[in-house]
Structure 1
Amino acid sequence: MTDFPAAEPLAAPPAPALPDTCDTLIIGAGPAGSACARWLAQAGRQVLLVDQHPLGRDKTCGDGLIPDAHHALQRLGVLEAVMARAERVNHVGCIGPRGGRIDVPGSLAVLPRQVLDELLARHAIAAGARFEQARFERPLQDADGRVCGAVLRQGDTEREVRARWVILATGAVPKALAAAGVCERHTPSGVALRGYVQAPAMVGRIQAMEVVWDRSVQPGYGWIFPAPGGHFNIGVGVTDSHRDLAGKGRKKDVNLRAIFDAFCQHYAPAAELMRQGRLVGDLKGAPLRCTLKGARWTRPGLLVTGEAAGSTYSFTGEGIGKAMETGLLAAEALLAHGSDDSAARGHYEAALHALQPRFQLYERANRINAAPWIADLLIWRASRSPRLLQRMGGVLNETSNPGNLLSLKGIGRLFFE
């Protein structure tokens, strides 16, 4: 996506040769890897951050920054820099199959991942981390089987980099997880398709981060998010998109392009957006790994973080905030326990276990995608109940339990509030 300007460099580019050793080798320069790199580098750790793509590569995503992302960015000290480039948004617009709508307030923004990821990586570099473009091939192991670095490829050349710790932040594609011996599920939790549309005439007409449960997108959902510079992020997603059989499976009968076309045809704002604007670049699809499942979180010498660990919420498909949060948890575990491998891994696993109930609640809430009539019911009641609207805002801000709204008891309560 070349229409969005790249982030301004914060540091001179590093020397081209890979070092032979480092304290922490972080594979993947997305939100999780860069958050981890910045936190460790600020504490004085020697950090090598590598990615197979150059800084500023495009990443298929909805680009929404909801409150958990704002909190993580604030901790990292980069919220102001991010918000200076982002499109601020005040509401999530929830639109049901029958056309009902409710706008849920929150601290929200939209910034394309091409810009966000480069900005985060450059702030990690400014804190002292070193970035190199290289592809992870396989881990190095010592005589006891502990990961002690990695084999990285640059062009036709393979180099060994020794490290006290390796952090795997490689996203939803399972290849690196499998190479590291920590993949438990090769199939994704869901799939999504996203495009950017430049439509200055639609600025001000679509102001909320619209999430749409229309019949045209069943068994999934659609979205339109206003982005900077008169752009809009438009896409569709389907959770539970694959049949999983012993860690491997196949895709269900889901045609994302057909769902996207149906969304643009039957949802009036999407149809108007496509008429008024122009598609910038190609539509891009991506897998999702959700609910903190599908990978071992640790093995001696190695931690798995971000979407590689399943840090995306299944109900909303939101993963940027939780990716950064898990990256920070990995860094905190290493800083707390130094070279004590067992203690560091135990610290990190305990922190992810503490998050797991929240992911399970969002997994329960995911039933709305399979039964969109529930969205109609929620929207109808919330339009008449300030208390329910407040509870929906609490779900967005992670102060309310989404499972309570969508349990049998919660649904029954809707008729009497």
Structure 2
Amino acid sequence: MSADSWPVSCQVLIIGAGPAGSAAARWLARAGKDVVMVDQQPLGRDKVCGDGLIPDAHQALERLGLLDRVMARAQRAAHVGCIGPRGGRIDVPGHLAVLPRKVLDEILNLGAQEAGARFIAPARFDAPLEDAQGRVCGARLTVNGESREIQADWVLLATGAVPKALTAAGMCERHTPSGVALRGYVRAPSMVGEIKALEVVWCKPVQPGYGWIFPAPDGSFNIGVGVTDSHRDLAGKGQKKDVNLREIFDAFVRHYPPAQRLMAEGELIGDLKGAPLRCTLKGARWTRPGLLVTGEAAGSTYSFTGEGIGKAMETGLLAAEAVLAHGAEDARVRATYETALRSLQPKYDLYERGNRVNRFPWLADLLIWRAQKSPRLLARMSGVLNETSNPGNLVSLKGLTRLFLE
């Protein structure tokens, strides 16, 4: 981009063009705001993710007017297949789909541009600009090796789980992630139709976490492992536990026959890739004057399920709505956004309680065994998927007692 065409100012500058940033950009631009969205990577970037679109993602995409475009490219599924350490299985119904993030993020990004947002990439966020009172009023970026500045009424930080941008903006409270994941794509036409559900597998080799196989478009599958509580939190800095994701992935493949067959018969597309996760709306300040943190940078991923796409978009929309509601009234924008996030916090806390299943895989065996005999319990598990049931209740002492009474 030439110096003549560089935008010197905008109303809202969004750093990060993933689901949170693009959702906020589309919502703001459709309302008439002058929006500039920047990202370190160009359009069509890859992103390590399970790629599962569960009901909250469908709802956010529908609000954005992009659900039909996404579903036209996605692989649909009707169930999450929950498989316990002893091989028991229950299929939990839901509105589900799988679409690689490379494609999903491009659809969301183009949707934001279609609404009027300007997109600049590759552009690295270096630091916020501040006025004389210390309020954020834009950002300093590196573009093609040159330093550039953009003035903005508001800056939205939607930079994902890597803490570098959060640290540069003075918003990082925990430098290490809540969990880590490793995934790969395998093309295996011979197994199309055999794995139809989003399969989630709990077993001791992956404790405290789970393995997955999700059917993706074009005869391919997303296979991976996620480990929760991968770092000990020591005075906000954290310390990595003894976690070797590749060894855990290989152990999952050996443990679960469909995974073993998938890796044997299929063709690995590219390399296995790892990524951090930031969960439970913790680890970062949400706001400072002139700046809102949203998406996974704010910890929008659920610790129990590892689901983050829908919640990233939801928090991006909440940030956009706060700006639209109160404009230049800094304190009111921040208070509105923080109140909206706090209203989500109890649900995140409940999903953290549900995370016991990842720590103690035998709980998955118990839940699956009872759900096979109890339509009511299966309905409650479907409610967890649809966010209408409390996952923490399923694994509380009271909830476990109820399992034997239903």
Range class of TM-score, shorter chain: over 0.9
Q: Give the whole-Å Cα distance in 2 for the aligned partners of 1:18 and 1:37.
A: 19
User: SS in structure 1 opposite 2:23?
Assistant: helix
Q: Do 2:207 and 2:360's aligned partners in 1 also have CA atoms closer than 8 Å? A: no
User: SS in structure 2 opposite 1:201?
Assistant: helix
Q: Which amino acid aligns with 1:111?
A: L
Matched, 1:285 2:274: yes
Matched, 1:250 2:239: yes
Q: Give the whole-Å Cα distance in 2 for the aligned partners of 1:18 and 1:276.
A: 50
Q: Which amino acid aligns with 1:164?
A: D
Q: Do 1:14 and 1:130's aligned partners in 2 also have CA atoms closer than 8 Å? A: no
Change (3 A) 1:108 1:14: farther
Q: Do 1:18 and 1:132's aligned partners in 2 also have CA atoms closer than 8 Å? A: no
| Superposition map of 1:376-387 within 5 A | 376-387=365-376
Q: Give the whole-Å Cα distance in 2 for the aligned partners of 1:406 and 1:75.
A: 33
Q: Deviations over 1:321-379 (max 9, x none)?
A: 00000000000000000110000000000000000000000000001111110000000
> What is the deviation of 1:15?
10
Residue number among 158, 179, 188 corresponding to 1:190 in the alignment: 179
Q: Cα RMSD over matched residues?
A: 1.2
| Superposition map of 1:14-53 within 5 A | 17-53=5-41
User: SS in structure 2 opposite 1:413?
Assistant: helix
Q: Give the whole-Å Cα distance in 1 for the aligned partners of 2:167 and 2:320.
A: 23
> What is the deviation of 1:176?
0.3
Residue number among 329, 335, 340 corresponding to 1:346 in the alignment: 335
Q: Which amino acid aligns with 1:382?
A: A
Matched, 1:227 2:222: no
Residue number among 290, 295, 300 corresponding to 1:311 in the alignment: 300
4+ residue stretches of structure 1 with deviation over 6 A?
Answer: 13-16
Aligned to 2:53: 65
Q: Give the whole-Å Cα distance in 1 for the aligned partners of 2:299 and 2:205.
A: 28
The alignment of Structure 1 onto Structure 2 pairs a total of residues equal to 405
> What is the deviation of 1:16?
9.0
Q: Give the whole-Å Cα distance in 1 for the aligned partners of 2:173 and 2:88.
A: 40
User: SS in structure 1 opposite 2:279?
Assistant: coil
Q: Give the whole-Å Cα distance in 1 for the aligned partners of 2:323 and 2:25.
A: 12
Q: Give the whole-Å Cα distance in 2 for the aligned partners of 1:316 and 1:413.
A: 22
| TM-score, with structure 2 as normaliser | 0.99
Matched, 1:110 2:98: yes
Aligned to 1:294: 283
Q: Deviations over 1:90-113 (max 9, x none)?
A: 000000000000000000000000
| Superposition map of 1:10-409 within 5 A | 17-133=5-121, 134-409=123-398
Q: Do 1:294 and 1:310's aligned partners in 2 also have CA atoms closer than 8 Å? A: yes
Q: Give the whole-Å Cα distance in 1 for the aligned partners of 2:9 and 2:70.
A: 32
Q: Which amino acid aligns with 1:304?
A: V
Q: Deviations over 1:261-310 (max 9, x none)?
A: 01111200000111110100000000000000000000000000000000
Q: Give the whole-Å Cα distance in 2 for the aligned partners of 1:244 and 1:342.
A: 31
Q: Give the whole-Å Cα distance in 1 for the aligned partners of 2:269 and 2:392.
A: 37
Q: Give the whole-Å Cα distance in 2 for the aligned partners of 1:50 and 1:194.
A: 26
Q: Give the whole-Å Cα distance in 2 for the aligned partners of 1:16 and 1:363.
A: 50
Q: Do 2:208 and 2:229's aligned partners in 1 also have CA atoms closer than 8 Å? A: no
Q: Provide structure 2 residue ranges, at least 5 long, that are not aligned to the other structure.
A: none
Change (3 A) 1:16 1:226: farther
User: SS in structure 2 opposite 1:391?
Assistant: helix
Q: Deviations over 1:172-220 (max 9, x none)?
A: 0000000000100001000000000000110000000000002222232
| TM-score, with structure 1 as normaliser | 0.96
